């Protein structure tokens, strides 16, 4: 027999009404606008787009507001929306070498063609809370400096590699796997791993990347390059017979150069890990590149001993929407499950008591 | 004009219009399309997504980075010309206007006007925006210098 328990409806409706009130807060304070969120909490919006796996700053800002700033809740909202959209096609692979650069640094070469451009970075700030943040003081316009030429800044891993000491990219146009369409099979290919990491939880990947630095799957990494900026998105339009640009998106790319692989015919060379993330998010891109490199253990005949090298562990647990779904479902009613366990325990104890009684009687 | 250059011009116009902020497009469209043949909706504007791809290592095999919201539209003029558009975001008005302008561009009477009053300003806006952004970034360039100490 199954008896449905009712009675939660009014409580749920009232709880959601209370949530709406708490979300809005003091009515004497103006409500947040989307422009304020996308403009002044831009990196929160970027994170929601990256892990929500949908590039749309306005929607991400709405999600941040709706979730009261709970990032994983906002990511969940964006993911849910994503599933309602029909897919019109696939973009041509973006070309990060043609990025309109907003920041670009290399920790391996001081004098790189295109130079070191710090951009809007938290680096070298003192990490002291600025009293100005409590008010609304005027902020200086940024300085401008004319460029000497219109030169592009090629990817560091493509230049200064005349000696062939860094692993090269192998260009291809193979159709990549898509974990949103096909179940992930293990071992997974690197394209699918990168897709999972690009939408993976920043905190989880950060900790895994950190673990590789501390010795759990040591890779001895250097930042070959981090670049942030705008790239054009192109798609082939069959009706037109050619590709058009849809606009541009901001991405962060990290080229991590890691310890070398040995000898063989090609000679020893540095290996690489790759990170590419929606928005301005270099912590995530760096963590992603560390984990990407760690997951390539088999390619370089490295023993898989550490969690960061275990692709099934990493890929199955890096998605925070899946993770929060399974962890948080525990708080939903489990009355019947728990009752069953209770009954079982009572039966076991009753049986034990009866046994003990019989043994005593026998003695 | 060969088909190739016609396609190249059409792409240039579509790319430029897609890069334009919606408010600017609205303004220029309203100012310049009075008296233009109407656009009849054929498809959309409809909101959907595309899968945005990157390349492994930046220059290797493609992988799926994540999706982006897009809006596409197809319109037809009474005289039969079809206009297409697909742009990032969920602005149905923007997609519809670009599709209309794409169709108008195919009319000999309209191509010069669309180019001059909409495509050229769009390109100019994109150039200026890119220049400003590049110069702001340039001001954060590290100019390394070395200090020589001692006498050796």
Complex ipTM, two decimals?
0.93
For residue B139, is it within any domain?
A: no
Please choose, from the candidates A126, A105, A127, A108, the residue with its C-alpha nearest in 3D space to the C-alpha of residue A117: A105
Distance from CA of A16 to the nearest CA of B (A): 28
Contact B118, B28 (CB under 8 A): yes
User: Is the Cβ pair A119, B140 closer than 8 Å?
Assistant: yes
- Where residue A336 falls among pLDDT bands split at 50, 70, 90? confident
Range of the domain at B93: 3-131
| Nearest neighbour of A91 by CB, restricted to B52, B59, B130 | B52
Whether residue A122 has pLDDT greater than 60: yes
For residue B136, is it within any domain?
A: no
Q: Which residues of A236-248 are buried (b: 16+ CB within 10 A; e: fewer)?
A: ebeebeeebbbbb
Q: What is the mean pLDDT of residues A207-226?
A: 91
What is the pLDDT, as a whole number, of residue A4? 65
Considering only alpha carbons, which residue of chain B is nearest residue A90? Answer: B51
Contacts of B137 in chain A (CB under 8 A): 101-103, 117, 119
User: Is the Cβ pair B70, A246 closer than 8 Å?
Assistant: yes
User: Is the Cβ pair A53, B19 closer than 8 Å?
Assistant: no
Q: What is the mean pLDDT of residues A107-126?
A: 91
What is the distance between the terminal CA atoms of chain A, rounded to a whole angstrom?
Answer: 44
Whether residue A226 has pLDDT greater than 90: yes
Contacts of A246 in chain B (CB under 8 A): 18, 50, 68, 70, 86-88
Neighbours of A144 (CB within 10 A): 15
Segment among A12-21, A161-170, A221-230, B22-31 with least mean pLDDT: A161-170
For chain B, what is the domain count? 1
For residue B137, is it within any domain?
A: no
What is the pLDDT, as a whole number, of residue A263? 59
Give DSSP secondary structure letters for A281-310. -HHHHHHHHHHHHHHTGGGGT----SGGG-
Q: What is the pLDDT of residues A57-101, one digit of tens each?
A: 999 999 999 999 999 999 999 999 999 999 999 999 999 999 999
Whether residue A42 has pLDDT greater than 90: yes
**Coil/strand/helix, residue B28:** helix
For residue B144, is it within any domain?
A: no
Distance from CA of B140 to the nearest CA of A (A): 5
Average pLDDT, chain A: 92
For residue B58, is it within any domain?
A: yes
For residue B150, is it within any domain?
A: no
For residue B87, is it within any domain?
A: yes
What is the CA angle B57-B60-B63, rounded to 5? 85
User: Is the Cβ pair B133, A100 closer than 8 Å?
Assistant: yes
What is the pLDDT, as a whole number, of residue A113? 85
For residue B97, is it within any domain?
A: yes
Considering only alpha carbons, which residue of chain A is nearest residue B46? Answer: A86
What is the pLDDT, as a whole number, of residue A300? 87
């Amino acid at each position: 027999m199954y008896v449905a328990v009712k009675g939660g409806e009014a409580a749920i409706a009232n709880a959601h009404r209370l949530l709406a009130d708490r979300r809005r807060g003091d009515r004497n304070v103006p409500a947040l606008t989307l422009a304020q969120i996308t403009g002044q909490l831009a990196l929160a919006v970027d994170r929601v787009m990256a892990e929500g796996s949908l590039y749309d700053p306005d929607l991400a800002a709405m999600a941040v507001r709706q979730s009261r700033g709970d990032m994983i809740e906002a990511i969940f909202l964006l993911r849910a929306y994503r599933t309602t959209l029909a897919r019109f096609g696939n973009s041509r692979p973006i070309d990060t070498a043609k990025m309109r650069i907003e920041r670009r640094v290399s920790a391996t070469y001081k004098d790189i063609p295109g130079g070191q451009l710090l951009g809007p970075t938290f680096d070298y700030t003192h990490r002291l809370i600025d009293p100005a943040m409590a008010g609304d003081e005027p902020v200086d316009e940024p300085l401008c400096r004319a460029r000497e030429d219109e030169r592009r800044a090629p990817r560091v891993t493509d230049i200064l590699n005349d000696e062939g000491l860094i692993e090269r990219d192998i260009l291809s146009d193979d159709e990549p796997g898509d974990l949103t369409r096909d179940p992930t099979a293990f071992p997974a290919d690197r394209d699918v791993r990168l897709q999972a990491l690009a939408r993976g939880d920043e905190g989880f990947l950060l900790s895994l990347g950190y673990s590789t630095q501390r010795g759990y799957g040591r890779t001895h990494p250097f930042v070959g390059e981090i670049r942030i900026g705008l790239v054009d998105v192109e798609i082939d339009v069959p009706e037109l017979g050619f590709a058009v640009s849809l606009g541009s998106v901001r991405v962060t790319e990290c080229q991590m150069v890691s310890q070398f692989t040995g000898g063989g015919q090609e000679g020893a060379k540095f290996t690489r890990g790759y990170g590419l993330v929606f928005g301005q998010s270099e912590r995530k891109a760096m963590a992603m590149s560390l984990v990407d490199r760690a997951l390539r253990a088999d390619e370089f005949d490295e023993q898989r001993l550490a969690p960061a090298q275990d692709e099934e562990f990493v890929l199955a647990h890096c998605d925070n929407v899946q993770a929060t779904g399974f962890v948080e479902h525990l708080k939903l009613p489990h009355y019947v499950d728990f009752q069953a366990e209770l009954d079982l325990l009572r039966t076991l104890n009753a049986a034990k008591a009866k046994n003990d009684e019989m043994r005593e009687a026998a003695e | 004009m060969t088909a190739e250059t016609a396609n190249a011009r059409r792409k240039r116009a579509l790319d430029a219009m897609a890069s334009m902020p919606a408010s600017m497009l609205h303004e220029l469209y309203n100012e310049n399309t009075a008296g233009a043949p109407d656009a009849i909706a054929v498809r959309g504007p409809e909101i959907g997504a595309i899968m945005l791809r990157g390349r492994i290592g930046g220059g290797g095999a493609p992988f799926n980075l994540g999706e982006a919201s897009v809006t596409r539209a197809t319109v037809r003029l009474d005289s039969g010309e079809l206009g297409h558009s697909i742009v990032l975001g969920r602005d149905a008005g923007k997609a519809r206007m670009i599709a209309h302008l794409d169709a108008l561009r195919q009319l000999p009477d309209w191509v010069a006007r669309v180019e001059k009053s909409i495509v050229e300003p769009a390109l100019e806006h994109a150039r200026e925006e890119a220049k400003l952004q590049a110069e702001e970034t340039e001001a954060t360039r590290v100019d390394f210098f070395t200090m020589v100490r001692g006498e050796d």
